[in-house]
Amino acid sequence: MLHVDSVTAGYGAISVLKAISLRVAEGEIVTLIGGNGAGKTTTLNVICGVVPVRSGKVVFGGRSITGQSPNAVVRLGMAHSPEGRKIFPRMTVLENLEMGAFTRNDKAGITSDLERSFALFPILGERKHQLGGTLSGGEQQMLAVARALMSRPKLLLLDEPSLGLAPLIVARIFEVVKELNRGGVTVLLVEQNARTALRLAHRGYVIETGEITMEGQASALLADERVQKAYLGE
Ligand SMILES: Nc1ncnc2c1ncn2[C@@H]1O[C@H](COP(=O)(O)OP(=O)(O)OP(=O)(O)O)[C@@H](O)[C@H]1O
Ligand SMILES: [Mg+2]
């Protein structure tokens, strides 16, 4: 479904991604783990068109999306729940969710997907008229995930959905990711919490200073001594 081929990218004079390659097959949950500053967020931002590709290519659903705008990429079926939540603080929960559906005009489908958001995250239903900026951190994270789902993506990119959240909320978010995946959504998950991510995912990649240094089945990475030392605190 997604092929990232030898992609380099960076900011100004700084090169961050050094010819990284990864792929995500339809139906998979794939996780990208790595330390702070390794290039995880940059990788997701390159895939969804927010950061330009300098060389290499990104192919989604069989067609090249290299150089496409983020909006065009959403229309092709990819949604991104960015790091740091980035919800619209002066809009209500409901308006934030409606923004997530900006590519659609099927009113009935949108209404039923709003209902689905509130079924997945009941707290959002209770707070649908509250301004996004006044939600708690965990509620904002749920809103960011729910908003991404409003475009009915085939592929969902999640950047650190568990960051700074209480264990119960983290558990809920990962449960939702699992449910969505069972329902047919493919997921590329970036996480600092490597153990939880590898338990949830089918496969994983390790990124270190802009290079993919390991890849494999999630269970094999969990059992790998280098991964355990570097990312699992063992
Ligand atoms: N907008 C930017 N301008 C300049 N440099 C940037 C920018 N965004 C990121 N960087 C740099 O690129 C490198 C990779 O950052 P990135 O955000 O991709 O890392 P990350 O793996 O997501 O880290 P973290 O786990 O801390 O979120 C870092 O050295 C960072 O300082
Ligand atoms: Mg990041």
The least confident of 32-41, 161-170, 202-211 is 161-170
Q: For the chain, give the mean pLDDT.
A: 93
Q: What is the pLDDT of residues 56-66, one digit of tens each?
A: 999 999 999 99
To test the ligand 1 pocket, which listed residue (4, 8, 11, 190) has its Cβ within 8 A of the most ligand atoms? 11
Sign of the dihedral defined by the CA atoms of residues 66, 67, 71, 72, in that order: negative
- Counting ligands in written order, the one closest to the CA of 18 is 1
Report the pLDDT averaged over residues 205-222.
97
pTM: 0.94
Is the CB of residue 218 less than 8 Å from the CB of residue 202?
yes
Q: What is the mean pLDDT of residues 160-166?
A: 85
Helix residue spans in 135-166 (DSSP H): 137-149
**Count of Cβ atoms closer than 10 Å to residue 97 Cβ:** 24
What is the CA 31 to chain-centroid distance, rounded?
9
Q: Which domains occur in the chain, in start order?
A: 2-231 (3.40.50.300)
- CA 8–ligand 2 middle distance (angstroms): 17
Task: Report whether 35 contacts 9 (CB < 8 A).
Answer: no
Element (H, E) at 5: strand 2-11
